[in-house]
Copies of this chain bind each other. A is one copy, B any other.
Amino acid sequence: MKKVKLQVPATVANLVCGFDILGMAIHEPFDEMELKLLETPEIIIKHKDHFGLSEEPSKNVTGVVLLKIQEHLNLKNGFEVIINKKIKPGSGLGSSAASATGAAVGANELLGNIFTKEELVHFAMFGEELASGVKHADNIAPCIFGGITLVKSSNPVDIIPLNSPDLFVTAVHPQVEVKTSDARQILKKNILLKDAIEQWGNIAGLVAGIQKNDFGLIGRSLNDVIVEPVRSILIPKFNEIKEKSLELGALGGGISGSGPSIFMLSEKEETSQKIAKMMKSVYEKIEIESFVYVSKINPSGIKIIED
Protein backbone atom coordinates (compact mmCIF):
# COMPACT_ATOMS: atom_id res chain seq x y z
CA MET A 1 0.00 0.00 0.00
CA LYS A 2 1.37 3.36 -1.02
CA LYS A 3 2.01 5.77 1.82
CA VAL A 4 3.76 9.03 2.53
CA LYS A 5 4.93 10.76 5.70
CA LEU A 6 5.04 14.53 5.91
CA GLN A 7 6.38 17.24 8.16
CA VAL A 8 4.13 20.27 7.73
CA PRO A 9 5.50 23.51 9.18
CA ALA A 10 3.86 26.42 10.90
CA THR A 11 3.57 29.63 8.92
CA VAL A 12 3.36 33.31 9.77
CA ALA A 13 0.82 35.20 7.66
CA ASN A 14 0.20 38.96 7.56
CA LEU A 15 3.93 39.65 7.78
CA VAL A 16 3.79 43.00 9.64
CA CYS A 17 3.21 45.63 6.92
CA GLY A 18 2.40 42.83 4.44
CA PHE A 19 -1.14 42.34 5.73
CA ASP A 20 -3.06 39.88 3.57
CA ILE A 21 -0.21 39.44 1.08
CA LEU A 22 3.04 38.23 2.69
CA GLY A 23 3.57 34.95 4.55
CA MET A 24 6.57 33.01 5.81
CA ALA A 25 7.28 29.37 6.62
CA ILE A 26 9.16 28.56 9.84
CA HIS A 27 10.65 25.29 11.09
CA GLU A 28 8.85 24.94 14.40
CA PRO A 29 6.26 23.96 15.40
CA PHE A 30 5.23 21.44 12.72
CA ASP A 31 2.53 18.83 12.23
CA GLU A 32 3.24 15.20 11.35
CA MET A 33 0.97 13.56 8.82
CA GLU A 34 0.87 10.11 7.29
CA LEU A 35 -1.28 9.45 4.23
CA LYS A 36 -2.14 6.11 2.63
CA LEU A 37 -3.80 5.56 -0.71
CA LEU A 38 -6.74 3.16 -0.32
CA GLU A 39 -8.18 0.85 -2.96
CA THR A 40 -11.66 1.76 -1.74
CA PRO A 41 -13.12 5.28 -1.97
CA GLU A 42 -13.54 6.09 1.70
CA ILE A 43 -11.67 8.85 3.45
CA ILE A 44 -10.50 8.03 6.96
CA ILE A 45 -9.12 10.74 9.24
CA LYS A 46 -7.46 9.88 12.53
CA HIS A 47 -6.10 12.50 14.88
CA LYS A 48 -3.34 11.40 17.27
CA ASP A 49 -3.41 14.84 18.90
CA HIS A 50 -5.96 15.88 21.49
CA PHE A 51 -7.35 19.08 20.03
CA GLY A 52 -10.77 17.52 19.61
CA LEU A 53 -11.08 18.22 15.90
CA SER A 54 -13.83 16.41 14.01
CA GLU A 55 -12.69 13.29 12.17
CA GLU A 56 -15.66 13.38 9.83
CA PRO A 57 -14.12 14.11 6.41
CA SER A 58 -16.58 16.86 5.41
CA LYS A 59 -15.97 18.64 8.73
CA ASN A 60 -12.20 18.17 8.83
CA VAL A 61 -9.78 20.50 7.06
CA THR A 62 -7.70 17.63 5.72
CA GLY A 63 -10.85 15.72 4.81
CA VAL A 64 -12.44 18.44 2.67
CA VAL A 65 -9.25 18.90 0.67
CA LEU A 66 -9.07 15.17 -0.05
CA LEU A 67 -12.77 15.11 -0.97
CA LYS A 68 -12.19 17.95 -3.46
CA ILE A 69 -9.23 16.15 -5.05
CA GLN A 70 -11.21 12.93 -5.21
CA GLU A 71 -14.13 14.71 -6.83
CA HIS A 72 -11.89 16.63 -9.26
CA LEU A 73 -10.17 13.46 -10.49
CA ASN A 74 -13.27 11.30 -10.28
CA LEU A 75 -11.03 9.06 -8.22
CA LYS A 76 -11.95 5.52 -7.17
CA ASN A 77 -9.29 5.49 -4.45
CA GLY A 78 -9.67 6.87 -0.98
CA PHE A 79 -7.18 8.00 1.64
CA GLU A 80 -6.37 7.18 5.21
CA VAL A 81 -4.69 9.97 7.12
CA ILE A 82 -3.08 9.92 10.54
CA ILE A 83 -2.48 13.41 11.85
CA ASN A 84 -0.36 14.40 14.81
CA LYS A 85 -0.97 18.11 15.12
CA LYS A 86 1.56 20.12 17.06
CA ILE A 87 0.49 23.49 15.69
CA LYS A 88 -2.38 24.34 17.98
CA PRO A 89 -5.61 25.40 16.23
CA GLY A 90 -6.33 29.08 16.81
CA SER A 91 -2.68 29.94 17.47
CA GLY A 92 -2.26 32.21 14.45
CA LEU A 93 0.56 29.97 13.26
CA GLY A 94 -1.22 28.44 10.28
CA SER A 95 -2.62 25.32 11.94
CA SER A 96 -5.47 24.82 9.46
CA ALA A 97 -3.18 25.66 6.53
CA ALA A 98 -0.82 22.89 7.64
CA SER A 99 -3.64 20.33 7.71
CA ALA A 100 -4.90 21.50 4.32
CA THR A 101 -1.45 21.63 2.72
CA GLY A 102 -0.52 18.20 4.06
CA ALA A 103 -3.66 16.78 2.44
CA ALA A 104 -2.96 18.35 -0.96
CA VAL A 105 0.76 17.61 -1.05
CA GLY A 106 0.37 14.11 0.41
CA ALA A 107 -2.36 13.13 -2.05
CA ASN A 108 -0.35 14.56 -4.94
CA GLU A 109 2.67 12.49 -3.91
CA LEU A 110 0.57 9.32 -3.68
CA LEU A 111 -0.99 10.00 -7.07
CA GLY A 112 2.36 10.46 -8.83
CA ASN A 113 2.89 14.23 -8.71
CA ILE A 114 0.17 15.25 -11.10
CA PHE A 115 -0.46 18.79 -9.83
CA THR A 116 1.50 22.04 -10.05
CA LYS A 117 2.20 23.98 -6.86
CA GLU A 118 -0.47 26.49 -7.89
CA GLU A 119 -2.99 23.67 -8.21
CA LEU A 120 -1.99 22.40 -4.77
CA VAL A 121 -2.67 25.90 -3.39
CA HIS A 122 -6.03 25.84 -5.13
CA PHE A 123 -7.07 22.56 -3.48
CA ALA A 124 -5.65 23.41 -0.06
CA MET A 125 -7.70 26.64 0.02
CA PHE A 126 -10.87 24.55 0.42
CA GLY A 127 -9.49 23.59 3.83
CA GLU A 128 -9.04 27.24 4.77
CA GLU A 129 -12.58 27.89 3.64
CA LEU A 130 -13.85 25.27 6.08
CA ALA A 131 -11.68 26.59 8.91
CA SER A 132 -12.30 30.31 8.54
CA GLY A 133 -14.99 30.86 5.94
CA VAL A 134 -12.51 32.47 3.57
CA LYS A 135 -10.50 30.84 0.80
CA HIS A 136 -7.16 32.49 1.43
CA ALA A 137 -3.64 31.39 0.53
CA ASP A 138 -1.65 33.50 3.02
CA ASN A 139 -0.46 30.50 5.03
CA ILE A 140 -0.80 27.80 2.39
CA ALA A 141 1.53 29.55 -0.06
CA PRO A 142 4.60 29.66 2.22
CA CYS A 143 3.81 26.14 3.46
CA ILE A 144 3.94 24.84 -0.13
CA PHE A 145 6.62 27.11 -1.66
CA GLY A 146 8.77 27.65 1.45
CA GLY A 147 10.50 30.86 2.52
CA ILE A 148 8.57 34.09 2.17
CA THR A 149 5.79 34.27 -0.39
CA LEU A 150 3.71 37.02 -1.90
CA VAL A 151 0.10 36.13 -2.63
CA LYS A 152 -0.55 38.52 -5.47
CA SER A 153 -3.92 36.94 -6.10
CA SER A 154 -5.72 33.88 -4.79
CA ASN A 155 -8.24 33.74 -7.65
CA PRO A 156 -6.61 32.99 -10.02
CA VAL A 157 -3.75 31.67 -7.88
CA ASP A 158 -0.76 33.98 -8.43
CA ILE A 159 1.99 33.25 -5.91
CA ILE A 160 5.40 34.94 -6.07
CA PRO A 161 8.05 33.09 -4.07
CA LEU A 162 10.51 35.58 -2.59
CA ASN A 163 13.93 34.90 -1.10
CA SER A 164 14.28 33.14 2.20
CA PRO A 165 16.56 35.33 4.32
CA ASP A 166 18.85 33.50 6.72
CA LEU A 167 17.13 34.79 9.86
CA PHE A 168 16.01 33.39 13.18
CA VAL A 169 12.38 33.50 14.21
CA THR A 170 11.08 33.56 17.77
CA ALA A 171 7.36 32.89 18.05
CA VAL A 172 5.29 32.95 21.21
CA HIS A 173 1.80 31.53 21.50
CA PRO A 174 0.12 32.83 24.65
CA GLN A 175 -2.80 30.63 25.67
CA VAL A 176 -5.53 33.19 25.10
CA GLU A 177 -8.19 33.09 22.46
CA VAL A 178 -8.40 35.67 19.66
CA LYS A 179 -11.27 34.84 17.35
CA THR A 180 -10.40 35.41 13.70
CA SER A 181 -13.84 36.93 13.26
CA ASP A 182 -13.15 39.46 16.06
CA ALA A 183 -9.72 40.23 14.63
CA ARG A 184 -11.41 40.89 11.30
CA GLN A 185 -14.31 42.95 12.62
CA ILE A 186 -12.07 45.25 14.62
CA LEU A 187 -10.37 46.53 11.46
CA LYS A 188 -11.52 49.86 10.07
CA LYS A 189 -13.01 49.74 6.57
CA ASN A 190 -11.57 53.17 5.75
CA ILE A 191 -8.01 54.27 6.28
CA LEU A 192 -6.10 57.47 5.66
CA LEU A 193 -4.33 57.74 2.31
CA LYS A 194 -1.25 59.07 4.10
CA ASP A 195 -1.12 55.95 6.31
CA ALA A 196 -1.55 53.73 3.26
CA ILE A 197 1.37 55.50 1.58
CA GLU A 198 3.56 54.93 4.63
CA GLN A 199 2.49 51.29 4.67
CA TRP A 200 3.29 50.68 1.00
CA GLY A 201 6.67 52.37 1.42
CA ASN A 202 7.34 49.81 4.14
CA ILE A 203 6.09 46.94 2.00
CA ALA A 204 8.26 48.02 -0.92
CA GLY A 205 11.21 48.29 1.47
CA LEU A 206 10.48 44.89 2.99
CA VAL A 207 10.25 43.13 -0.39
CA ALA A 208 13.41 44.91 -1.59
CA GLY A 209 15.18 43.99 1.65
CA ILE A 210 14.14 40.34 1.32
CA GLN A 211 15.32 40.19 -2.29
CA LYS A 212 18.59 42.02 -1.58
CA ASN A 213 19.24 40.12 1.68
CA ASP A 214 19.58 43.53 3.31
CA PHE A 215 18.74 42.82 6.95
CA GLY A 216 18.98 46.49 7.95
CA LEU A 217 16.39 47.39 5.33
CA ILE A 218 14.17 44.51 6.44
CA GLY A 219 14.35 45.87 9.99
CA ARG A 220 13.58 49.45 8.94
CA SER A 221 10.61 48.20 6.93
CA LEU A 222 8.96 45.98 9.55
CA ASN A 223 6.41 48.61 10.55
CA ASP A 224 2.67 48.29 10.31
CA VAL A 225 0.82 51.56 10.83
CA ILE A 226 -2.61 50.20 9.89
CA VAL A 227 -3.46 46.76 11.23
CA GLU A 228 -1.15 46.23 14.20
CA PRO A 229 -2.21 49.34 16.15
CA VAL A 230 -5.80 48.03 16.06
CA ARG A 231 -5.36 44.28 16.41
CA SER A 232 -2.61 44.36 19.01
CA ILE A 233 -5.21 45.53 21.53
CA LEU A 234 -6.58 41.97 21.50
CA ILE A 235 -3.23 40.46 22.54
CA PRO A 236 -2.13 40.87 26.15
CA LYS A 237 1.31 42.44 26.59
CA PHE A 238 1.86 42.89 22.85
CA ASN A 239 3.49 46.31 23.14
CA GLU A 240 5.75 45.27 26.01
CA ILE A 241 6.92 42.19 24.12
CA LYS A 242 7.58 44.14 20.98
CA GLU A 243 9.50 46.90 22.74
CA LYS A 244 11.61 44.48 24.74
CA SER A 245 12.34 42.38 21.64
CA LEU A 246 13.65 45.44 19.81
CA GLU A 247 15.74 46.37 22.85
CA LEU A 248 17.20 42.85 22.82
CA GLY A 249 18.19 43.29 19.18
CA ALA A 250 15.29 41.93 17.10
CA LEU A 251 15.08 43.33 13.56
CA GLY A 252 11.34 43.60 14.07
CA GLY A 253 8.20 41.55 14.10
CA GLY A 254 4.54 41.66 14.97
CA ILE A 255 1.34 39.69 15.13
CA SER A 256 1.42 36.26 13.50
CA GLY A 257 -1.66 35.82 11.34
CA SER A 258 -4.55 37.32 13.28
CA GLY A 259 -2.90 36.42 16.59
CA PRO A 260 -2.57 35.73 19.42
CA SER A 261 0.92 34.51 18.50
CA ILE A 262 3.66 37.11 18.15
CA PHE A 263 6.85 36.61 16.14
CA MET A 264 10.18 38.40 16.01
CA LEU A 265 13.02 38.15 13.49
CA SER A 266 16.67 38.25 14.56
CA GLU A 267 20.00 37.93 12.83
CA LYS A 268 21.61 35.89 15.60
CA GLU A 269 20.42 32.76 17.35
CA GLU A 270 21.59 34.21 20.67
CA THR A 271 19.25 37.18 20.22
CA SER A 272 16.31 34.96 19.32
CA GLN A 273 16.92 32.81 22.42
CA LYS A 274 17.05 35.87 24.68
CA ILE A 275 13.78 37.07 23.17
CA ALA A 276 12.23 33.64 23.77
CA LYS A 277 13.18 33.79 27.45
CA MET A 278 11.84 37.31 27.80
CA MET A 279 8.52 36.39 26.12
CA LYS A 280 8.04 33.42 28.42
CA SER A 281 8.75 35.52 31.50
CA VAL A 282 6.41 38.36 30.46
CA TYR A 283 3.50 35.91 30.25
CA GLU A 284 4.53 34.07 33.43
CA LYS A 285 4.25 37.32 35.33
CA ILE A 286 0.61 37.70 34.36
CA GLU A 287 -0.03 33.96 34.76
CA ILE A 288 -0.76 33.24 31.12
CA GLU A 289 0.70 29.97 29.90
CA SER A 290 2.68 30.30 26.69
CA PHE A 291 4.55 28.17 24.19
CA VAL A 292 7.68 29.62 22.68
CA TYR A 293 9.42 28.41 19.53
CA VAL A 294 12.85 29.36 18.21
CA SER A 295 13.68 28.28 14.67
CA LYS A 296 14.71 29.79 11.36
CA ILE A 297 12.83 30.90 8.30
CA ASN A 298 12.11 27.62 6.53
CA PRO A 299 13.29 27.89 2.92
CA SER A 300 11.60 24.72 1.66
CA GLY A 301 8.26 24.49 3.47
CA ILE A 302 6.46 21.16 3.70
CA LYS A 303 8.80 18.18 3.76
CA ILE A 304 8.25 14.65 2.54
CA ILE A 305 9.97 12.45 5.13
CA GLU A 306 9.31 9.06 3.64
CA ASP A 307 7.49 7.53 0.69
Count identical subunits in the complex.
2
Question: Nearest chain B CB to A273's CB is how many angstroms away?
Answer: 30
Closest to A209 in B: B160
Of A34-42, A106-114, A187-195, A280-288, which stretch is located at the interface?
Answer: A187-195
Give A179-206 interface residues, CB cut-off 8 Å to B.
Answer: 187-194, 196-197, 199-206
Determine the distance from Cα of A262 to Cα of B260 in the docked complex, in whole angstroms.
46
Question: Nearest chain B CB to A199's CB is how many angstroms away?
Answer: 6
A18 at the interface (CB under 8 A from B): yes
Choose from B22, B192, B199, B212 the contact partner of A211 (Cβ within 8 Å). B212
Contact with B along A135-161 (1 / 0, CB 8 A): 000000000000000111100001010
Whether A190 lies near B187 (C-beta < 8 A) is no
Determine the distance from Cα of A204 to Cα of B16 in the docked complex, in whole angstroms.
13
Give A188-233 interface residues, CB cut-off 8 Å to B.
Answer: 188-194, 196-197, 199-208, 211-212, 217, 220-221, 226
Residues of B within 8 A of A212 (CB): 211
Question: Nearest chain B CB to A142's CB is how many angstroms away?
Answer: 14
Whether B205 lies near A152 (C-beta < 8 A) is yes
Residues of B within 8 A of A208 (CB): 150, 160, 162, 207, 211
Closest to A158 in B: B220
Whether A152 lies near B201 (C-beta < 8 A) is yes
Question: Nearest chain B CB to A22's CB is how many angstroms away?
Answer: 7
Closest to A199 in B: B200
A20 at the interface (CB under 8 A from B): yes
Determine the distance from Cα of A219 to Cα of B5 in the docked complex, in whole angstroms.
40
Residues of B within 8 A of A196 (CB): 191, 196, 199-200, 226
Determine the distance from Cα of A7 to Cα of B150 in the docked complex, in whole angstroms.
39
Residues of B within 8 A of A20 (CB): 197, 201
Residues of B within 8 A of A211 (CB): 207-208, 211-212
